[in-house]
Copies of this chain bind each other. A is one copy, B any other.
Amino acid sequence: MAGWVHAKRDLGGKKFLLLRDRDGIVQVVISKDQRELCELFYELTLESAVSVVGKVRADARAPGGFEVVPTRIVVLNLARAPLPLDVSGKVPADVDTRFRERVLDLRREETKAMFKVLSVALRAMREELYSAGFVEVFTPKIVATATEGGATLFPVAYFGREAYLAQSPQLYKELLAGAFERVFEIAPAWRAEESDTPYHLAEFISVDVEMAFANYEDAMRILERVVARAAREVREVAPRELRVLGYEPPEIRLPVRRITYADAARVLAESGERVDPGEDLSTPHLRRLSELVGEEVYFIVDWPDKTRPFYTMPKDDGVFSESFDFVWGHLEIASGSTRVHRKDLLVKRLKERGLNPENFEFFLKWFDYGMPPHAGWGMGLARLGLMLTGAKNVRELVAFPRDKKRLVP
């Protein structure tokens, strides 16, 4: 057995060493006639890495119903004392301390539980996509053009040329759907977000899906299945972690309710909220909407065209678009649409948004060669993680978050 010294208890005649590994905590009992081990017990500091050889014996009073009587304890790496952060979680630490002392913070049961839940969710989502015929792909992260406008780009010096970190795999996943039909990617993306909110990161993991010969209804059907499976498998595979977190992810019944933007705006207006027609909905709007419609998760569909990016398919009415957000309570977790597959319309929409079609030639070119109708969505993994773990800030779900003030560790 090997692990970390989680706690020590000296009852005189018996000394208890609580050893923590990835499966939990085991009690090691040293009796006072074990002289050398007793001396070692006093030297051992919390969070030291040790290995223990001994005999397991049943004891109803021990955590897990058994304890270990050691014959040998080897100190693998002695930890410095005092620790800058209490791993047992009994002494709470503020957020800045926690992220500065992140490796110790990641050893806490609660933090470990969050990352285990994310890992289970990732596996579940991929399995759902594989079973629906999707191929896993990777798109380039160093790109020559801004996908969604230029304000939030990180510049990269690329062999003497100007390049950027990809804000999303949007245009490349569309091109890949134009070859492989059904593709998904789970990979980092970057936005140079100036604002400090609980929901934004400079570097985030994006779950992306794109499908050919499909529209936004098809995309929503895949998305709700993927999210429902993630929530279900987390409940089934990680019950211990959910107990540690004191949280239950929502049960998602299919089909998830669809509410049009127009209906949402009407319901909000009727309840006395002010909604500017054709504008995006704010967080307070969404919070109120969730209460009014009595749904914990729901789609808002058919958003005003002007609130969506150039590659979104407008509806025939010229006002709305074939688009959706997947919302949990007041938080947008995923967003998608039918995409425009006609070159002339793409060029027109780029120009309307003040973007230069020449910069998008690498993308537009392929719409001359049989780009099929297609649709897809993108989801922030950490935002989904909020729904699955009950965490309040996306930084909790990123091992080493990157934002305006964090580049280290």
Contacts and interface: CB of A to CB of B under 8 A. Distances in A.
Contact of A76 (B104, B107, B341, B399): B341
Contacts of A76: 213, 341, 372-373
A399 B137 contact: yes
A136 B119 contact: yes
Given A47-B369, A156-B156, 9 more contacts: A22-B180, A22-B182, A49-B373, A80-B368, A80-B369, A104-B369, A111-B179, A142-B154, A362-B409
Interface string A115-141: 110110011001000100101111111
Nearest to A22: B181
Interface stretch (A33-41, A158-166, A273-281): A158-166
Contacts of A175: 103, 409
A2 to B, nearest CB: 4
Nearest to A162: B407
Contacts of A371: 49, 77
**Count of chain copies:** 2
Interface stretch (A57-65, A91-99, A187-195): A187-195
A53 interface: no
Given A161-B407, A187-B188, A400-B172, A180 B112 contact: yes
A257 interface: no
Contact of A402 (B77, B115, B118, B140): B140
Q: Which of A188, A190, A407 has the most CB of B within 10 A?
A: A407
A199 interface: no
Contacts of A48: 370
A219 to B, nearest CB: 16
A176 interface: yes
Interface in A167-187: 172, 175-176, 178-182, 187
A205 B140 contact: no
A83 interface: yes
Contact of A123 (B136, B156, B172, B366): B136
A187 B187 contact: yes
A21 interface: yes
A154 B401 CA distance: 20
Nearest to A371: B77
A119 B135 contact: yes
Nearest to A133: B22
Contacts of A107: 178-179
Contact of A79 (B138, B187, B190, B370): B370
